[in-house]
Amino acid sequence: MQDWAVRRRGGRRSRMAPFVASTLMIGALCGAGAADAREPAARQPAPKPEMATYVTQKGDSLYNVADRYLRDPSDWYKVARINHVSAPRALPPGLKLLLPVPLLRQERPGATVVATSGPAQRAWQHGPYLPLVEGSQLVEGDSLRTGAEGFATLELPDGSHVRVPPDTELVITTLRKTVLTGVTDRVFSLRRGRVESEVTHATKPDDRFQIRSPSVVAGVRGTDFRVNYDNDNGSTAVEVVEGAVGVDASSAAPTPGVPLQASTQLVGAGHGNLTERGGAVGAPVPLLAAPSVIHAGKVQDDDTVAFDVKPVDGATGYRAVIGRDAGLVDTIRDVRSDGPHILTGALDDDTYFVRVTAISAQGLEGMPGTYAFERRRMGIGASGGAIDAHSYRFRWTVDRRAENTRFRFVLSASKDLRNPLVDRTDIRGGQVVVSNLPPGVWYWSVVAGQFDKGRYYEKATPVQSFRLGE
């Protein structure tokens, strides 16, 4: 016991003092205090704390182990008592030390903003909101909010992603990792709007990932799911794409380590549930199937990017989300439509991805279908007019000129341009003259073609018509 009283350099007080003063506290921690023995027999003993094991290495002392792993390094004496260590300055290699989990230090890692666009802001606790910057770190206590056209995606240290669509307010309530055990605890509070999460599968029983709204808490151990809180009516929708989500009332949030199967409702892949304000947690219902986009691979070359989907039975609307990557981490557009024709507005030329879902009468968003598409704007305008009684001139222009642009002119007596009277290809100029046409109604169109980066693009004008008198 002589080493207990050795003073640290610099004249610091003896380590014996806190050890002696805390003997009764340690007895309570270990369940061996004399005071507990005098309690009435009816009192239940306090549960023993969960223990983590650390195997000592060469050069370890109880002091540097406490510095590395305990919240309060002065708690080294509690570890000494539990493990019956009488020489804390010299620990033999290979010794298995038991460390109470409640005493372990917790790190507070950050969540990286990997993508943002439009109005998006952050604030810490009750501080002012400031612009959200890509590459910055959000930590426990930070709030994030997006405007009508704002988007943000967070990446957690384990590779999980949290996507924040427009008109959403989200708070990082808990973001911690326990040293030595590696257990993670991640809780996000959704105050309004929706959040979409792709969570890496939990590897430890006590790992926790929860999205909490004012009405429900949705917990997962690795899945792709969405939570939508309607601030107006207080309802919360949970939609599961992959894995399973345990849903409970917000007043009964499960603690770490509670299995999903113990949840009030277990919502599996392809299902969702809706919980009304003040009501019981909703039962799972099947989600609508993913819509099919008609001609998904066509080049989007009109002024407005638009998609047509095959109607889904039971759908009252559709949603299209556009991003620059297949995982939609970098999201730039989010629109809804009452019908299967979805207008998403203008975009710069590039390759994009669109995710389309159907929305049920309950307001639950269905399973997603994701498609790649190319945006390459090329406008072409054309007109025609008589030169004299025997000749007709057709002119056209394109707003995307290229040296290798070629034009095709087609003129026919049928609206579908079948069996054309004139079909001229590889025209380099911007006009053509046709003479000696018989009387009648004639239909025509011009097709512009260009090679760009090894790929051929073409755009046709709408079919126009004119009449030549008898």
Domains and CATH numbers, the chain: 2-104 (3.10.350.10), 107-286 (2.60.120.1440), 305-375 (2.60.40.10), 380-468 (2.60.40.10)
Q: pTM for this one?
A: 0.78
Predicted pLDDT at 2:
39
CB 246 within 8 A of CB 263: yes
CA-closest candidate to residue 289, choices 368, 383, 215: 368
If 0-12 CB within 10 Å is exposed, 13-18 middle and 19+ buried, where does residue 120 land?
A: buried
Predicted pLDDT at 422:
95
Angle at alpha carbon of residue 286, lines to 231 and 335, rounded to 5°? 50
Predicted pLDDT at 106:
95
> pLDDT tens digits for the chain (470 residues)?
334 433 333 333 344 344 433 443 334 444 443 334 444 445 555 567 789 999 999 999 999 999 999 999 999 999 999 999 999 998 999 999 999 999 999 999 999 999 999 999 999 988 999 999 999 999 999 999 999 999 999 999 999 999 999 999 999 999 999 999 999 999 999 999 999 999 999 888 889 999 999 999 999 988 999 999 999 999 999 999 999 999 999 988 998 888 899 999 999 999 999 999 889 999 999 999 999 999 998 999 988 999 999 999 999 999 999 999 999 999 999 999 999 999 999 999 999 999 999 999 999 999 999 999 999 988 899 999 888 878 899 999 988 766 678 999 999 999 999 999 999 998 988 999 999 988 889 999 999 988 887 788 888 999 999 988 76
* CA dihedral sign of residues 192, 198, 200, 206: positive
Round to whole Å and give the CA distance between 378 and 162: 36
Instruction: Write out the H or E segment, with its range, that includes residue 268.
Output: strand 265-268
Round to whole Å and give the CA distance between 253 and 220: 12
CB 253 within 8 A of CB 212: yes
Q: Which residues of 336-363 are buried (b: 16+ CB within 10 A; e: fewer)?
A: ebeebebebeebeeeebbbbbbbbbeee
CA-closest candidate to residue 216, choices 184, 171, 254: 254
